[in-house]
Amino acid sequence: MKIELEQNNKVFIFEGSNKWELHPIWLRERVSEKEHLDKNTEQRLFDPSFLKDIKINKVNIINKLLDIEFSDGVKSKIEIDKIEKEFNSDAFLKDLIKPVLWDSNLEDIKNFKFKDNFFESDEMLELLKSFYKNGFVVISNVPTKNNFIVKFANSIGSIRRTNFGEYFNVKSKPNPNDLAYTPLPLSPHTDNPYRKPIPNIQLLHCIENEVSGGYSTLVDGFSVAESLKKNHPNFFKVLTEVKVKFRFVDKDVVLENVGQLIELDEENKIKQVRFSTRLDFVPALEKEKLDLYYQARNKISEIYNSDKFLIKFKLMPGDLLMMDNYRLLHGRTEFNPNEGNRFLQGCYIDYDSSEGKLRHLLRKFI
């Protein structure tokens, strides 16, 4: 990428074979002198929506600076590096958080260990990069006292509070309002598909685990969806089309939301998977459509539960699992509560938390 000037009043960007002129107002919005920009917040001290008929009176390149005089009398020296970074940063971040699909052969898992100043360290930067790559990370040696999961979550961003509370205790108990609070096995599922919006990221922190069972399971839903698309395109298609209602009910609340089991973005790439068959209510479509849908749901469930895609491991006290609820399915094996305590604490955060922290640490270390 390079910047060139024409006629002393036009600024052009060249990127490969592409060339376009930078709009005068676009440049005027980026003046950064102290009289125009707050030094603490980097927020503008002027409202660019009031700018009209702005032109460039003259412009020069001086030592990697655009020395510009605008038609409203404002003069500024804009760093060319900042302009180039603005064009490149989105592509850089998009590549950095691009998922790498995996199945049960996953081996390249980086180990992270909690330490002092963890949240502002380069290790946290590597953790977030690994999280976006695989859709999950496990951190060991996380303090188990005083509901530390709250501090951990709020050090990345902000906890997403739900009707289960700021955080929730996952342990077997009488008269539960969710099957998570039983010793029963939980097949692979995504959490809270009945919420608007669905929480993006779940944290699970192991406080006690004295049982021989109760293994955690994970499946890369994006990998399964791509496999379905390749091997059963008609099943993939119907699961991207039919919107299913998900519903949660207890004595205090009724929550409902609708969505496809495989949701695509505007570029027809996989954006999100949903799967929670204990909570879903399929619409009463014509029989032929539902025949196909139910076959497709059976097939994707079979794949989710297969040894080809599922990984299994045991969380020990101090281990904290952070996972992408839009991409991964999680579950657990059955356990016997008479063997001892199995106690995990959980909470949710959203993508702006992890992505905001990632941008901050990139600014700090790169």
Instruction: Give tens-digit pLDDT for 161-207.
Output: 999 999 999 886 556 656 666 777 789 999 999 999 999 999 999 99
Give, rounded to a whole angstrom, the gap between the first and last alpha carbons of the chain.
Answer: 20
Query: What's the rounded mean pLDDT across residues 131-155?
Result: 97
Cis preceding-peptide flag for 197 (omega within 30 of 0): yes
Q: What is the distance of C-alpha 134 from the center of its chain? A: 11
Give pLDDT, residue 8.
Answer: 81
Q: Residues with Cβ < 8 Å from 156, sequence gap 6 or more? A: 119, 349, 353, 354, 357
Q: What is the number of other CB atoms lying within 10 angstroms of the CB of residue 306?
A: 15
**By 3-state DSSP, what share of the chain in percent is helix, strand and coil, each rounded to 5?**
30, 30, 40
Give pLDDT, residue 3.
Answer: 85
Give pLDDT, residue 2.
Answer: 81
Give pLDDT, residue 314.
Answer: 95
Calpha distance 234→293 (Å, rounded): 9
Query: 292 with 234: CB under 8 angstroms?
Result: yes
Give pLDDT, residue 173.
Answer: 59
Quote the percentage of the chain above a pLDDT of 90.
80
Instruction: Give tens-digit pLDDT for 85-125.
Output: 888 777 788 888 899 999 999 987 889 999 999 999 999 99
Instruction: Give tens-digit pLDDT for 201-247.
Output: 999 999 999 999 999 999 999 999 999 999 999 999 999 999 999 99
Give pLDDT, residue 177.
Answer: 54
Give pLDDT, residue 89.
Answer: 72
DSSP states of 211-245:
-S---EEEEEHHHHHHHHHHH-HHHHHHHHH--EE
Average pLDDT for the chain: 93
Instruction: Give tens-digit pLDDT for 261-271.
Output: 999 999 999 99
Beta strands, E only, 270-333: 270-273, 280-281, 310-313, 320-324, 328-332
Domains and their CATH numbers in the chain: 2-91 (3.30.2020.30), 112-365 (3.60.130.10)
- Radius of gyration over alpha carbons of the chain, in Å? 25
Query: What's the rounded mean pLDDT across residues 40-46?
Result: 93
Tokens coding 26: 């676009």
Query: What's the rounded mean pLDDT across residues 139-145?
Result: 97
Quote the percentage of the chain above a pLDDT of 70.
97
Give pLDDT, residue 14.
Answer: 86
Calpha distance 328→13 (Å, rounded): 41
